[in-house]
A and B are shown apart, each in its own frame.
Chain A
Amino acid sequence: MRKSWLPVGFLWLVYTILILALVKYVNVLPTQWAEEAQVVDEAFLLLMYLAAPVMAMVLAVMTWGMIAWRSDGADREDGPNTHTNRIVVTTWLVLTSALAIGVVINPGFIGLAEIRGEPSSDYVIEIEASQFFWEVTYPNGATSFDELVVPAHMRVRYDVNSTDVHHSFWVPAFRVKIDAVPGITTRVFATATAEGSIEDDINLRIQCAELCGAGHAAMAMPVRVVSDAEWNEYITSIGGSG
């Protein structure tokens, strides 16, 4: 009665390889523009790789079931009377627990440390959300309502705030997101890696990511990454106390 192990094991292997190949060669992730994005993307890919054998296992059993175990129920024949199998159950519990623990450690805690740790920054930019627009305040006090300009290769801390309901500060290309909560200041760090603007990539935008009312969908603002020098020039040009 051991005859199903072999074909199912084989299918499992094949599916695993197929899924792994898919993950490796078909890139589903958008372009990265920040160091934090690399952490997120690595975590994402790692999870995809880890998920491959799990999905393959289920798929293998399903496939082989459809091929080899079908039977016409009308003959009222019963299958084998196996109630359980201690070895299989234990192995399964050990493996899935190991997988879960593995996932918690990496990318879980390692990613958490990289995203949330190290609260030092080169600049602080304040972001204030209101229904339905963003107000950006640069370190020199200059403000802007139509564009967020940030220096490349600098670690910027965004202090996020809201005046009415919850919004969420999200720059998809940076892969970071934090809610704007009235009454408290939340913060998030991002280090842009390359110059560019929304013309280059639609994901270089601030997009509100918490339902805030009628204008939620339209609550977006372009982001432009420039060199540090250009940035300094820009923020003095739009005013502020210097």
Chain B
Amino acid sequence: MKYLVRAIVFGLVGYVSGVWLTLAVRGGDPTDEVAVVFGFILALLGWLAGIGGLEAFGRQWIGKTPKLSEDHTWRRYFQFSGDHKVIGIQYGVTLFAVLLIGGLVSMIMRIELAAPGMSIVDLEEFNKLMSMHGILMIAVAVAGIIGAFGNYLIPIQIGAADMAFPRLNALSFWLVPPVAIGLLSAPLLGSFDAGWTAYAPLSVTNDSGQILFNLALIAFGLSSILGGLNILVTVITMRAPGMTWGRLPIFTWAGFATALLTFSVTQFFAGALTLITMDRVAGTNFFGPEVGTGILYQHIFWFYSHPAVYIMVLPGLGVVLELVTTFSRKPLFAYKTTVGALLTIVGLSVVVWGHHMFTSGMADFLHGPFMILTEAISIPTGVIFLSIMGTLWQGKLWFRAPLIMTFGWLFNFMIGGITGIFLADVATDIYLHDTYFVVAHFHYTIVGGAIFALLAAFFYWFPKVTGRMYNDKLGSIFAVWVTVAFNFTFMPLFWVGINGMNRRVGDYPEAYAAANKFASISAFILGASFLLFVGNMLWSAVKGPKAGANPWNARTLEWQVSSPPSHHNFLSQPVIVGHPYDYGGDGSPHVIFPDAEEPPDEVSLEEASV
């Protein structure tokens, strides 16, 4: 705790001195945006130094041996630990908390939207809530699976003891809390109301809370970039002997594909936000109304933010593919084609951004190419569906909570993907753009695709991370509940969208009242389901039955070590000798431990009582 306290103190001191210095140099008010910028930067540096950056990096710069937290108690979760398992848990818990906060904000929105007219907030406050909900959730979706499960699992799945750069990994994580704090404290400066997209010039002229949005997300971008870089290097250089590219578990492949996107295109997001920040504080004029370059902002923004949607969903695809093979007890269907599809998605995703701009007034000749490329993306995504269905085909489906979540995922993402095609088509998008049809589309893809996969991953890897089994009966009830409630919430929103209700509005014509009321009530039922989930997880983490090393009888590496894995994951060097998903084959293993003194502890399923 001492480090956390130090981080908070240094952060506060940093903030105050940043503001103070600015005032000393140029005068003005402590709430001036320039002061906030310098305050934030110094606060961030202070925070990072305080939490352990001084020991981890600073010592090396003065020629001493750097140190990382070596605590083995619960305190390590509050320290600058380089252990990828600790960092995975830190990410998982932090972002899940953010998910709950973002969800509660959406509940306020749904109360307001339950009936036309304004009831609990006014139009402007609604826009601010909506923007807050959007950006918090985007942050969760971008970093949730890859930050939590990517960190925890990728090194184990490839047979490594840790990430390639443990200190950098810790840095990536510790950049995240300031992001959440920055965003959540924006209301102090009037909050931001330009949506998660922050289109200029609106985002140049609105309230000062926008500056915190920009700064927080630049920090978040940095975290994503460093995290992505680390995963790439880890997978390239640290695979265990015998772990060829053709034997990489599919989740690792998906994480690798995601990292290819995060480490590169995220810079465009940081760039776009820097430009509007400079317009606000440094007197540049990229996007002023008189310059007419708002479309430029959109190009830069979507060059990141379209790939970002695949950053959200690719790890989800990895999770789902991993789950279907385990729970249908069959090899992953068309493994090589699937890997090819993941990489094709990465390639295509950076050239389709214009489909968000069909009505933006961008040059006419761009519409055709962007439409073709966007629709081309449905082909590799279709391959993922083929792989899932082919794996399920005549398998031995074991309907446990993770598989039920996967079935929910399959339904949701199918709807989300197919409605994407409606938006990719210029003729229909010209109508549907900026309606609730889009809102429904992306909740089906992000919540239905990324968050459902995140929840499924929580179930599946829970025994590995905690060493205990969650209650599967409650888990299954939750899985069905959340799927049904989710569909009841967002299906009606397609209808209101098609019938002319635009998004980002706190008030709407009477004609859409009934459907909205239905959606709101379903949303509360959806929200309530999370109580069951959280309850189940918390209770089981403490009181659940011991799970043993391999409760799902799965083949990938993480299941061949104890639960939770030992400090350096393996007690001796693993050697990879076979395909990761050769279920029903001749029994050849995926991994052997030639130097092991004892075979890893086998725990029978009865004992795990799933």
Q: How far is the CB of A99 from chain B (nearest CB, A)?
A: 8
Q: Which of B293, B375, B579 contacts A104 (CB 8 A)?
A: B375
Contact assessment for B396 and A165 in the assembled complex, using a CB-CB cutoff below 8 Å: no
B385 touches A (CB below 8 Å): yes
Contact assessment for B127 and A80 in the assembled complex, using a CB-CB cutoff below 8 Å: no
Complex alpha-carbon distance, A108 and B368, angstroms: 8
Complex alpha-carbon distance, A84 and B378, angstroms: 21
A6 touches B (CB below 8 Å): no
Most A-side CB within 10 Å, residue of B194, B379, B383: B379
Complex alpha-carbon distance, A156 and B584, angstroms: 67
Q: How far is the CB of A208 from chain B (nearest CB, A)?
A: 8
Enumerate chain A residues within 8 angstroms of B383, measured Cβ to Cβ: 89, 92-93, 96
Contact assessment for B364 and A79 in the assembled complex, using a CB-CB cutoff below 8 Å: no
Complex alpha-carbon distance, A1 and B394, angstroms: 8
Enumerate chain B residues within 8 angstroms of A30, measured Cβ to Cβ: 498-500
Q: Which of A143-151, A169-177, A230-238 contacts B (4 or more CB under 8 A)?
A: A169-177
Complex alpha-carbon distance, A177 and B286, angstroms: 26
Enumerate chain B residues within 8 angstroms of A179, measured Cβ to Cβ: 359-361
A85 touches B (CB below 8 Å): yes
A4 touches B (CB below 8 Å): yes
Enumerate chain A residues within 8 angstroms of B528, measured Cβ to Cβ: none
Enumerate chain A residues within 8 angstroms of B124, measured Cβ to Cβ: 213-214
Complex alpha-carbon distance, A184 and B367, angstroms: 18
Q: Which of A69, A96, A111 contacts B426 (CB 8 A)?
A: A111
Interface range, A side: 35 or more
Enumerate chain B residues within 8 angstroms of A107, measured Cβ to Cβ: 425, 427-428
Q: What residue in chain A is nearest B404 (Cβ atoms)?
A: A66
B400 touches A (CB below 8 Å): yes
Contact assessment for A209 and B430 in the assembled complex, using a CB-CB cutoff below 8 Å: no
A11 touches B (CB below 8 Å): no
Q: Which of A50-58, A120-128, A133-141 contacts B (4 or more CB under 8 A)?
A: A50-58
B55 touches A (CB below 8 Å): no
Contact assessment for A184 and B433 in the assembled complex, using a CB-CB cutoff below 8 Å: no
Query: Known contacts A73-B553, A84-B335, A103-B421: does B378 contact A96 (CB below 8 Å)?
Result: yes
B21 touches A (CB below 8 Å): no
Contact assessment for B584 and A81 in the assembled complex, using a CB-CB cutoff below 8 Å: yes
Contact assessment for B585 and A81 in the assembled complex, using a CB-CB cutoff below 8 Å: yes
Q: How far is the CB of A185 from chain B (nearest CB, A)?
A: 9
Q: What residue in chain A is nearest B298 (Cβ atoms)?
A: A166
For chain A residues 178-229, which have a beta carbon within 8 Å of chain B? 178-179, 181-184, 186, 202-203, 207-218
Complex alpha-carbon distance, A165 and B193, angstroms: 13
A43 touches B (CB below 8 Å): yes
Q: What residue in chain B is nearest A52 (Cβ atoms)?
A: B418
B575 touches A (CB below 8 Å): no
Q: What residue in chain A is nearest B289 (Cβ atoms)?
A: A182
For chain B residues 475-498, which have a beta carbon within 8 Å of chain A? 495, 498
Enumerate chain A residues within 8 angstroms of B506, measured Cβ to Cβ: 217
Q: Which of A58, A162, A164, A165 contacts B410 (CB 8 A)?
A: A58
A72 touches B (CB below 8 Å): yes
Q: How far is the CB of B505 from chain A (nearest CB, A)?
A: 4
Q: How far is the CB of A178 from chain B (nearest CB, A)?
A: 6
Contact assessment for A170 and B502 in the assembled complex, using a CB-CB cutoff below 8 Å: yes
Q: How far is the CB of B301 from chain A (nearest CB, A)?
A: 12
A9 touches B (CB below 8 Å): no
Complex alpha-carbon distance, A203 and B502, angstroms: 11
Query: Known contacts A96-B378, A97-B379: does B428 contact A214 (CB below 8 Å)?
Result: no
A168 touches B (CB below 8 Å): yes
B123 touches A (CB below 8 Å): yes
Q: What residue in chain B is nearest A103 (Cβ atoms)?
A: B375
Enumerate chain B residues within 8 angstroms of A92, measured Cβ to Cβ: 382-383, 386
Enumerate chain B residues within 8 angstroms of A78, measured Cβ to Cβ: 329-330, 396, 583-584
Complex alpha-carbon distance, A213 and B192, angstroms: 10
Main secondary structure of the interface of A (DSSP, over half): mixed
Contact assessment for B375 and A84 in the assembled complex, using a CB-CB cutoff below 8 Å: no
Contact assessment for B290 and A182 in the assembled complex, using a CB-CB cutoff below 8 Å: yes
For chain B residues 558-610, which have a beta carbon within 8 Å of chain A? 579, 582-585, 605-606
B539 touches A (CB below 8 Å): no
Q: What residue in chain B is nearest A111 (Cβ atoms)?
A: B427
B399 touches A (CB below 8 Å): yes
B27 touches A (CB below 8 Å): no
Complex alpha-carbon distance, A47 and B123, angstroms: 35
Enumerate chain A residues within 8 angstroms of B379, measured Cβ to Cβ: 93, 96-97, 100
Query: Known contacts A44-B428, A217-B123: does B397 contact A164 (CB below 8 Å)?
Result: no
Complex alpha-carbon distance, A160 and B583, angstroms: 61
Complex alpha-carbon distance, A182 and B285, angstroms: 14
Contact assessment for B399 and A218 in the assembled complex, using a CB-CB cutoff below 8 Å: no
Interface range, B side: 35 or more
Q: Which of B61-69, B144-152, B153-161, B200-208 contacts A (4 or more CB under 8 A)?
A: B200-208
Complex alpha-carbon distance, A89 and B339, angstroms: 13
Complex alpha-carbon distance, A217 and B193, angstroms: 13
Q: Which of B89-97, B444-452, B507-515 contacts A (4 or more CB under 8 A)?
A: B507-515
Enumerate chain B residues within 8 angstroms of A152, measured Cβ to Cβ: none
A116 touches B (CB below 8 Å): yes
B414 touches A (CB below 8 Å): yes
Enumerate chain B residues within 8 angstroms of A211, measured Cβ to Cβ: 127, 193-195, 197, 199, 202, 504
Q: What residue in chain A is nearest B399 (Cβ atoms)?
A: A70
1/0 contact string of A59-90 vs chain B (CB within 8 Å): 10110011001111110111111111100110
Q: Which of A84, A104, A175 contacts B431 (CB 8 A)?
A: A175
Contact assessment for B194 and A202 in the assembled complex, using a CB-CB cutoff below 8 Å: no
Contact assessment for B430 and A177 in the assembled complex, using a CB-CB cutoff below 8 Å: yes
A109 touches B (CB below 8 Å): yes
Complex alpha-carbon distance, A83 and B411, angstroms: 24
Q: How far is the CB of A151 from chain B (nearest CB, A)?
A: 22
Contact assessment for A218 and B507 in the assembled complex, using a CB-CB cutoff below 8 Å: yes
Q: Which of A66, A104, A109 contacts B407 (CB 8 A)?
A: A66
Enumerate chain A residues within 8 angstroms of B605, measured Cβ to Cβ: 73-74, 76
Contact assessment for B504 and A55 in the assembled complex, using a CB-CB cutoff below 8 Å: no
A23 touches B (CB below 8 Å): no
Q: How far is the CB of A101 from chain B (nearest CB, A)?
A: 8
Q: Which of A1, A59, A166, A207 contacts B500 (CB 8 A)?
A: A207
Contact assessment for B294 and A77 in the assembled complex, using a CB-CB cutoff below 8 Å: no
Enumerate chain B residues within 8 angstroms of A88, measured Cβ to Cβ: 386, 390
Contact assessment for B382 and A96 in the assembled complex, using a CB-CB cutoff below 8 Å: yes
Contact assessment for A202 and B294 in the assembled complex, using a CB-CB cutoff below 8 Å: no
Q: What residue in chain A is nearest B581 (Cβ atoms)?
A: A83
Contact assessment for A164 and B201 in the assembled complex, using a CB-CB cutoff below 8 Å: yes
B395 touches A (CB below 8 Å): yes
B389 touches A (CB below 8 Å): yes
Query: Known contacts A47-B428, A93-B383: does B584 contact A80 (CB below 8 Å)?
Result: yes
Contact assessment for A116 and B333 in the assembled complex, using a CB-CB cutoff below 8 Å: no
1/0 contact string of B537-568 vs chain A (CB within 8 Å): 00000000000000011000000000000000
Other A-B contacts than A82-B330, A172-B431, A202-B500, 10 sampled, CB-CB below 8 A, are A30-B500, A40-B431, A79-B330, A80-B395, A84-B334, A96-B383, A103-B425, A165-B205, A168-B359, A182-B294
A residues near B (Cβ < 8 Å) are 1, 4, 28-30, 39-40, 43-44, 47, 51, 54-55, 57-59, 61-62, 65-66, 69-74, 76-85, 88-89, 92-93, 96-97, 100, 103-104, 107-109, 111-112, 114-116, 162-166, 168, 170, 172-173, 175-179, 181-184, 186, 202-203, 207-218
Can you pick out 22 interface pairs between chain A and chain B where the beta carbons lie within 8 Å of each other? A57-B389, A58-B414, A59-B411, A65-B392, A78-B396, A78-B583, A79-B329, A79-B395, A83-B335, A84-B333, A84-B334, A107-B427, A108-B371, A108-B372, A115-B426, A116-B367, A116-B426, A166-B202, A166-B360, A203-B500, A210-B199, A213-B127
